[in-house]
């Protein structure tokens, strides 16, 4: 069944969340290095431009990662595979030590934490942080990475999911 004009309601945070539960999104982990590594699970990752290679993602200004991301010169972008639900959950969990075992990572270009075993990754130079309500949209140019291969982890209906054949 599809929604029509008769079921329309005024937009608010609840409506936005409800609408985006219907939108399947790829799952990524964004990392940066401050005095310690920080990172979070993101479903807002988007390709913006091929020339130059630019990506974007949103981050809440109330996020524990925001103070580091607000100053970071470089960020890591990691595309998670279908077998990485636990890694996604770890980086989504508030108060977790996201870089403790069993998370495997190494310092990458610019000191950015690069997660091991992900489907693909990029290290990007931050170009801009655009205010957007209680979030910032980060625009960043890819400088290094590995395209890898594999089936993606998805987020839909409030849960991590995988593609079906």
In SS3 terms, 99-128 reads as CCCCCCEEECHHHCEEECCCCEEEEEEEEE
Distance between CA atoms of residues 80 and 149, nearest Å: 10
pLDDT, residue 135, reads 96
pLDDT digits (tens, 9 = 90+) for 101-123: 999 999 999 999 999 999 999 99
Question: What are the angstrom distances between the C-alpha of 147 and each of 27, 69, 74, 77, 79?
Answer: 15, 24, 18, 11, 9
Give 1's pLDDT tier (boundaries 50, 70, 90).
low
DSSP H helices, the chain, are 13-21, 66-69, 85-92
Give 21's pLDDT tier (boundaries 50, 70, 90).
confident
Partners of 25 in the beta sheet?
Answer: 155
11-30 average pLDDT score: 83
pTM: 0.89
Give 2's pLDDT tier (boundaries 50, 70, 90).
low
Residue 143 reports pLDDT greater than 90: yes
17-35 average pLDDT score: 87
Cis peptide before 56 (omega within 30 of 0): no
Residue 75 reports pLDDT greater than 80: yes
CATH homologous superfamily of domain 25-160? Electron Transport, Fmn-binding Protein; Chain A (2.30.110.10)
> Domain boundaries in the chain?
25-160
Q: How many residues does the chain have?
A: 165
The answer to whether 44 and 155 have CB atoms below 8 angstroms apart is: no
pLDDT, residue 20, reads 74
The answer to whether 135 and 128 have CB atoms below 8 angstroms apart is: no
């Amino acid at each position: 069944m599809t929604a029509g004009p008769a079921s329309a309601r005024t937009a608010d945070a609840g409506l936005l969340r409800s609408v985006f539960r219907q939108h399947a999104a790829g799952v990524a982990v964004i990392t940066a290095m401050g005095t310690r590594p920080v990172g979070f699970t993101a479903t807002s990752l988007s390709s913006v431009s091929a020339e130059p290679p630019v990506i974007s993602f949103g981050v809440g200004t109330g996020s524990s990662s925001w103070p580091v991301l607000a100053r970071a010169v470089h960020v890591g972008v990691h595309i998670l595979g279908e077998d990485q639900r636990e890694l996604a959950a770890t980086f989504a969990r508030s108060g977790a030590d996201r870089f403790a075992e069993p998370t495997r990572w190494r310092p990458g270009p610019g000191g950015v934490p690069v997660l091991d075993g992900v489907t693909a990754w990029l290290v990007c130079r931050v170009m801009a942080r655009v205010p957007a309500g209680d979030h910032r949209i980060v625009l960043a140019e890819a400088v290094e990475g590995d395209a890898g291969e594999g089936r993606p982890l998805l987020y839909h209906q409030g849960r991590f999911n995988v593609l079906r054949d």
